[in-house]
Amino acid sequence: MWGKPVHSNASAASGADAFTLIELLVVIAVIAILAALLLPALSQAENSGKAISCENNLHELGLGFMLYFQDNNDDFSTAALKSSLGAQPEDWIWWQVSSNASGVTMRNPADGSVMRYLGYKSEYVRCPADQDALHRQVLWQQNPGFEQYFYSYSLNACSEHGMASYISKDRSVIILNRVSAVAHPSEKIMLAEEKGSPADGPGDAVIDDGAWEPPGYPLTSRHEGKANVSFADGHVERVKRDFADSYHPEHYVPGL
């Protein structure tokens, strides 16, 4: 005598637990919506973190300058001009091309007159959001004989009289400018985050050495339309590019 047939519930259970195609599409759509909402927030947080790191860089550099002033009669260092204009031992950072028995190389940045106080680290002199500086470094590595300034910050050298000290290429002219002579130091930009490339806002001039020469060389706009700057009293702010344009010399001319 045959018994009653036994039916398995495995397939039925499997079917009940599985996603239907429509349910799967709904889940994918929800994930896509969440990603679209979260990615801008994550990107904004990342950009904000880079801007804060940039501020910290300028705080460190400002501290280095304060230590330099104490040991050098309140005098500013020189501005680290291009080799053609006269690289000097007093340059705040060394970067220019030099030749030796082994070929063409870059002067050791750690030997810069201000960088000696900090212990050179590339992150001190480069904003983490500055892709233009990284591009210039690649160009230099491809052609070391062609100078490229691949840092983000430069010292105010709006004229021979400030802020940076000035020494001519042959050292026949030496003008030492003092931080104590800066009027309203809390309002005067000492270190600028310059425009990094033609795409970095209006104007043609871009950073090409360690000297910032306003108003012809504008500030960057990489931080949501703003730039980080360090003032002559050492504090750091984020300002709009027009903060240091031709209409506002009071923010960069030392004597005003």
> Is 130 within 8 Å of 137 (Cβ atoms)?
no
Joined together, the tokens standing for residue 208 give 């090409």
Flag whether pLDDT at 7 surpasses 60.
Answer: no
Flag whether pLDDT at 223 surpasses 80.
Answer: yes
| Single-letter amino acid code for the residue at 75 | D
Mean pLDDT of 22-27: 81
Mean pLDDT of 5-26: 62
State pTM to two decimals. Answer: 0.83
Burial class (CB in 10 A: 0-12, 13-18, 19+), 62: buried
Mean pLDDT across the chain: 90
Pairing of strands 153-156, 211-212: parallel
115-144 confidence digits (pLDDT tens): 999 988 888 999 999 999 999 999 999 999
Lowest mean pLDDT among 21-35, 139-153, 173-187, 192-206: 21-35
Flag whether pLDDT at 184 surpasses 80.
Answer: yes
Quickly list DSSP for the chain.
Answer: ---PPP---HHHHHHHHSPPHHHHHHHHHHHHHHHHHHHHHHHHHHHHHHHHHHHHHHHHHHHHHHHHHHHTTTBPPB----GGG---TTBSS---EEEETTEEEE--GGGSTTGGGT---GGGSS-TT-HHHHHHHHHHHH-TTS-----SEEEE-SBTTBSSBEE-TTSS-EE--BGGG-SSGGGSEEEEEB--STTSSSSS----SSEE-TTTSPBP-TBTTEEEEEETTS-EEEEEGGGGSTT-GGGT-TT-
When comparing pLDDT for 73 and 12, which is higher? 73
Query: Quick one: pLDDT at residue 5?
Result: 53
Residue carrying the six token digits 């599985």: 18
Q: How confident is the model at residue 19 (pLDDT cuts 50, 70, 90)?
A: low
40-75 confidence digits (pLDDT tens): 766 666 788 999 999 999 999 999 999 999 999 999
Q: CA dist 63 to 116, 127, 237, Å?
A: 12, 17, 15
Flag whether pLDDT at 36 surpasses 90.
Answer: no
Q: How far apart are CA 2 and CA 180, in angstroms?
A: 110
C-alpha closest to that of 207 among 252, 139, 149? 149
Query: Quick one: pLDDT at residue 183?
Result: 97
Query: Quick one: pLDDT at residue 104?
Result: 82
Q: CB under 8 Å to 4, separation ≥6 — which residues?
A: none
Joined together, the tokens standing for residue 111 give 């030997």
Query: Quick one: pLDDT at residue 30?
Result: 83
Lowest mean pLDDT among 73-77, 191-195, 197-201: 197-201
**Residue 204's Cα: distance from chain center in Å?**
19
